[in-house]
Structure 1
Amino acid sequence: MRDNKLRMLSFLMFALGAGVSSVSHAKTLKVCYDQWPPMTIFPTKEVPERGVVIDMVEQIYSSKDYSLEYFEVPLARGLDMVAEGLCDMLPEYLYSKNSDNAFVYASEATFSYATAFVVRKSDSWRYQGIQSLNGKRIATGPGWDYSSMSAGYQHYIDDPANSDFVEVIAGYDDVVDRIFHMIKEDRVDLYADNDLVLQYVLNQLDLNDDLIIVRPGFEKQLVEMPIFSKQMPVEKRQDLINIWNEGRLAMKGKEEQALLKKYKVSLEK
């Protein structure tokens, strides 16, 4: 009887130990991201998708047995959370050689985005350098930085001499939607952004009869990279970066196109 009790006790202790061990080895990736449809989306009951880039992150890390925990926050807060170690990564941030010391970039970009403009369908305007902006009413958001794509454009919208022609639209997550409606209503003339964002918003707002995307956009592409917190142990951070770099390379081609198609946008447009 005593032997049976000892055997049972030993079994229970082994099972408990195995359970604790499996919990301690569970891998969770904490991901901060901001709202930038269709690349990153705050899900709702009506639209549960999280966007092209978050789908990529999910596929890449879940294939390595990570579970993902998401924090949907404005970009500035997301950067702070990565710096503080509250998030392990943020999937898209403008690449800069002079980056903040609080994080480390991966080597593989999420995307290198072509830019474009949106104007009224009746407008024959096309971007032909900074001089072609003269007299056009330009929409932008507060503090938005275009300098990595076109230093000339950034200088133009920052120049006090052009302030009467630059409309800064404040807001949280509907700024681009409102800009599209303002262009339709002839309150501003043009807006520049990532080509995929323009495609997505145009479709979502059903404004294809009123507005048109015009290309080419700026001289340089917008390069967005994942960033990883320096608060993690170096070995863990490098492992996460390696998983991303290898996974993103493997997704180029058909898998990448399938994800874009899910959100009704295309690199070929």
Structure 2
Amino acid sequence: MSSRTAAGPVTGIRFAFGTLTVLPVRVTRWDREAARAGMLCAPVAGLIVGLCAAVAGALLLVAGAGPLLAAVATAAVPAVLTRGLHLDGLADTADGLGSGKPAADALRIMKQSDIGPFGVITLVFTLLAQVAALAELYGGAGRDGGDWAWGAGAAVLAGMVARLALTLASRVGVPAARPEGLGAVVAATVPGRAAAAAVLLILAAVAGVGVGSAALSGAAADPLGRAVAAVVAASVALLVAELLLRRCVRRFGGVTGDVFGAVEETAATTALVALAAL
């Protein structure tokens, strides 16, 4: 099928789930139009991943487990549903950025199968931050507003916002660092206006997550306060992910599949930490 043929929502959903999750969805097209549709649908894949993570944590709490164990399960589910692909990209990107070598050598380091010290340290602290933030949101710190619904909502929010960061990283004007790989397929495929519309849509959705979590938490929760906190946390996450993206583009000359993974994990972690802080 010609790459000039427009790709519809179904093609986009298939591309998003087939490339960003391990769910059994077959990618029917592998061209620039399909990539554009897929990256615009990436937050939908994030919604499903986030819901699965939220269910895992909530079920453990209902079964009598503590907030810490629920937080571990919630952080583990996205890793399982992506085969650790984004975490691997985060580690490889950290090794490339930390190497201090020219772009070509840094890209070669990132492509190697092993993980260096920068990658290991980054992975450890990233996962620790995710678990700590989720535990607090589930109620582990004993602060007002910590409950199962807020923690579960945070997992959903982080899933959507993290994949929205991939949509923004795929926008026109962000080049690919290599001529091959997933990064080259999706780089510069999403028009600026479509990316901006996706941001507005997801920010509205995360505000709804905040209101919904307040409704599930009971009369003591503040719907407006949670909606504002959700939007602020999402905005901060997207800002931090954008700063990392720009750093990688300057350092490597563009984006790669590893950079996409790093951007996704950075956005997810920042969103959780920001929610816990708020």
TM-score range, shorter chain: under 0.3
Tell me which protein shows more helix as a share of its residues.
Answer: 2
The two structures have a TM-score, normalised by structure 2, of 0.26
Larger-gyration structure (1/2):
1
The two structures have a TM-score, normalised by structure 1, of 0.27
Q: Larger relative CO (CA 8 A, sep 6+): 1 or 2?
A: 1
Tell me which protein shows more strand as a share of its residues.
Answer: 1
